[in-house]
Structure 1
Amino acid sequence: MKTLIYILVVTLVTIMFGCNSTSKPVAENNPNAKTVAENKSNNTTSDSLWIKNPEIKYEILIIDGGFNPWLQSTAKPRGVYTQKQLESRNAPWIIEWNNRVRSPKTKLDSQLFNLHIDYDTGTDYGYEVNYLLYNYLVYFQLKNNIRLGGFTPRP
């Protein structure tokens, strides 16, 4: 399956494997999205969020210990921003993200920006993937005190 968007962010290995969230998967209200976040050992959700849509063949995988709780407690609810607004915010941030993947400015950059985001501005990924991508990029910038340029991140 061709993957259009594939995000794997490993910020701190300790956080990734050491912290568990007890929140529900956030993509459950998108009928086309399937979320894989169940931890079979204790029936809580894990720190990963995986959304797939077989119709347009995209995948988004976010692995970060604090993202799900942040999304549910801090992020603006769905519907506050239009899809166009989310796309206009995502595009410059993703360009800068990919620039840092190709040529990290610091050692920290090489640890944080390790995978390219394949995001085509001409493709309609739908509201849900743009919403989650936008919020992850906001969360990432605030958490790591990094600016990806363009707009100032705001939850």
Structure 2
Amino acid sequence: MTESRTGVGVTGLRRVFRKTLEAIVVLLVVALALVVVLGVGFRKAGAALVWYDEAASILLAWLTYYGAALVALTRGHIGVPVLVERMRGRARSAVLLVGEAAVIGFFLTLAWAGLQVQAALAGTALVSMPAVPAALAQSVIPIGAALFVVAQLLSLPGALRGGSGEPGEGGGAVP
């Protein structure tokens, strides 16, 4: 059952989730590019920005986490699809579900650890940008992990049917 009473099913949720992640990833790429261009420009002019390195590092980490969730939605991560593709029936579903449980378990653990980092960083600020709480910069850990879990769950029905999780697409993980 992919549709609820409101008419919004897994496919609709997946589409909205994908579009939202795509927009965030594009914004992060643009922000990172602007920070790098500004950093290089100011450094060439002899007036290096003290916050450039820290800001670029944080943006790159955020881009990595949000990008990973986006790729997870299409099951484009590196994996061993040949093993699962050669299986049929219940064996295929069982192996797929065990793999899903392992991946989701890892990312739930990562989200928990990220929340512990948040608690440890409470009240601290970034070194080069003291107005920015360190916990804000590290918030990508639990948020990114949760987004990855949501992406895995939204793409699971398609994977169980033998596709990538995206409507109309076959395949799976990149070999």
Normalized against structure 1, the TM-score is what? 0.30
Q: Which has the higher strand share?
A: 1
Which structure has the bigger radius of gyration?
2
TM-score, length basis structure 2: 0.28
Name whichever structure is richer in helix by fraction: 2
